[in-house]
Structure 1
Amino acid sequence: MGARAARQYVGPGDDTIRLSGLIAPDLTGTPISLDVLRGMANTGEVFALVEGTGIVYGGFVIGDLNETRTLLFADGAARRIEFDMTLVRADDDSDRDQRGRA
Structure 2
Amino acid sequence: MARTMMALGAFRFGLRHNAYSSLQQDWQFKFGDVQRLGNRAATHFTGWDPEPITIQGTVYTMSQGNLGQIQQMAEYGKTGKPLIMVDGTGFSYGKVVIRSLQEGKRYFFPNGSPRAIDFTIEVTQYG
- Normalised by the shorter chain, which TM-score bucket? 0.7 to 0.9
Structure possessing the higher relative contact order (Cα contacts under 8 Å, 6 or more residues apart): 1
In structure 2, the partner of 1:2 is: 39
Question: Which has the larger helix fraction?
Answer: 1
Mapped pair 1:64 → 2:100: yes
Question: Which has the larger strand fraction?
Answer: 2
In structure 2, the partner of 1:17 is: 53
Distance 1:30 1:81 in 2: 11
Within the candidate set 78, 82, 94, 1:46 is matched to: 82
- Identity of matched residues, %: 26
TM-score (norm 2): 0.64
Moved >6 Å (runs of 4+): none
Q: CA RMSD in A?
A: 1.5
Structure 1 residue 30: deviation in Å?
2.6
- List alignment gaps of at least 5 residues for structure 1: 92-102
TM-score (norm 1): 0.78
Number of aligned positions between the proteins: 90
